[in-house]
Structure 1
Amino acid sequence: MTPKAVLDIIDTARCREARSGAFWRQLQLRAKALPTCISFNSQAPASCLFQFSVEYIETAPRLIHAVDTCAREAGHEGLFTPFLDAATRFFTNPSVLLSHYIGLDGLLISAYLCHRLMEDMYENNHSFRRSQLVDLEATRANLLVHELIGEPFANELDDAVAITVRQIAGSPNYYDLDLDPFVARANNAAWDSMRQYWENLLVRNHIRFTLGNRRRR
């Protein structure tokens, strides 16, 4: 499976949502129950959350493609393939726990798993941690989706991601791997374009998140 297959799955879900409006109605309810650390520069918070969620979902295959491209150019394709395969399977072969999520709500969960997997991958290697490839805004976006999914389920998803990372990079040696060649490739124009799109996700959708007031456990 490829990012193209993920995009096709997303297109199908968007068509289903256009007919049902089910995800939109969910977000109308969620907008009223968000913590005070999340606010909107808009009189239509549900609209902001809906567009944010769609873009967050669509960013996942962009991220998969960007990481794959940089890994191949840096000569580390084999090292990153397990992460990319796992991220893709969140969409193409989701857990049975997500079987009753058939629309954009399910894809938001899949995208959250994908983005959190990449976030944890970065956190578990010193080359990435000092590179600042993952901006604070990306963390805020993940925290917002954590709120939209809701606890305790979102916490269970975080635990599942942590288990996946340990399975892929279980050796302590992973932290000390020199991945500077990947970091160098990740600072090219293509990655920068993807990163700017990702990092401006909240601002573009008129959402403010005060990180100090709410954190994942």
Structure 2
Amino acid sequence: MERIEVLIHNAIAEEKTSHHLQQVLGQRLDQVARVVQLPENDAAQRLCEFVVRYISNVPAMLTDLRDAAQLTGLSHAVEPVIRIAAEFFTTPPQAINSEVGLAALMDEAYLAHRLLEEVNEACIHRIGQPLIPLDMALSNVIIHTLIGEPFANDLDELVEAAVERLLEQPQAYENPTFDSFMKRLGSSNLFQIGQRWSCLSSQMGFASPLL
């Protein structure tokens, strides 16, 4: 996590002089406006602030999830997910290497957030409830739109492949004790962590009639 935090810190410092991300986002305002209602003033700056928080939240969120999972006894289920999410930053896919600075980290953060979202969807399908109660749907749609298609779709395929590898492993989801863990999840620290990190889009004042 420290390595990821250093990457983010350096990219934010570089953005203060280059304004590269803000320029990229400014070119995509029309596309994002189809998804969410943007502020009338400083829309590009507000979107830039949103993207920086979206990126910066990843290491802190993963650290909180790790700590909560240890206290809950769910490390065996959560740790593989955390490891893959972190690797998207530390060893990013070759396809992202054409990007630089915060623009590259936006892609990597999107992979991490989408991984959590897809793992939740898989757990809801298999056991009736999410592994990690996070609601990042609208935030991920906004970032998907900012990244742009077809590249964002390619990133989604990378996430889907990673989730398939996770679920192929003989791990927690088929452990006979896992169901009892999930029944305790509602009162656990892990659930509280999910509440703390949910709905970044709402926190930043972005609303959508679509979601």
Q: Which has the higher contact order (CA 8 A, sep 6+)?
A: 1
Alignment of 1:66-215 (within 5 A): 66-126=64-124, 129=129, 133-135=133-135, 138-170=136-168, 174=173, 177-178=178-179, 179-180=181-182, 181-183=184-186, 184-188=188-192, 191=193, 194-195=196-197, 198-199=198-199, 201-212=200-211
Letter in 2 for 1:29: Q
Name the CA distance, whole Å, in 2 between partners of 1:42 and 1:133.
33
Letter in 2 for 1:134: L
Name the CA distance, whole Å, in 1 between partners of 2:103 and 2:169.
34
Whether contact under 8 Å (1:124, 1:175) holds in the other structure is no
Whether contact under 8 Å (2:22, 2:48) holds in the other structure is yes
Q: How many residues align?
A: 203
Letter in 1 for 2:163: V
**Could you tell me how far 1:91 is from its partner in structure 2?**
0.8
Whether contact under 8 Å (2:114, 2:140) holds in the other structure is yes
What is the TM-score normalised by the length of structure 1? 0.83
Compare 125-134 and 29-38 and name the one that shifted more: 125-134
Compare 177-186 and 39-48 and name the one that shifted more: 177-186
Name the CA distance, whole Å, in 1 between partners of 2:166 and 2:150.
25
Name the CA distance, whole Å, in 2 between partners of 1:96 and 1:152.
16
Structure 2 unmatched runs, 5+:
none
Whether contact under 8 Å (2:121, 2:130) holds in the other structure is no
Letter in 2 for 1:207: F
What is the TM-score normalised by the length of structure 2? 0.85
Structure 1 unmatched runs, 5+:
213-217
**Could you tell me how far 1:144 is from its partner in structure 2?**
0.6
Change (3 A) 1:175 1:123: farther
Deviations 1:30-51 (A, max 9, x none): 1133352321233221011100
Q: CA RMSD in A?
A: 2.4
**Could you tell me how far 1:207 is from its partner in structure 2?**
2.1
Name the CA distance, whole Å, in 2 between partners of 1:130 and 1:94.
26
Letter in 2 for 1:110: E
Compare 32-41 and 140-149 and name the one that shifted more: 32-41
Whether contact under 8 Å (2:133, 2:195) holds in the other structure is no
Whether contact under 8 Å (1:66, 1:194) holds in the other structure is no
Percent identity of equivalent pairs: 26
**Could you tell me how far 1:192 is from its partner in structure 2?**
5.6
1:60 counterpart residue number? 58
Partner SS, residue 159 of structure 1: helix
**Could you tell me how far 1:206 is from its partner in structure 2?**
3.2
**Could you tell me how far 1:205 is from its partner in structure 2?**
2.9
**Could you tell me how far 1:154 is from its partner in structure 2?**
0.7
**Could you tell me how far 1:87 is from its partner in structure 2?**
0.5
Name the CA distance, whole Å, in 2 between partners of 1:106 and 1:61.
16
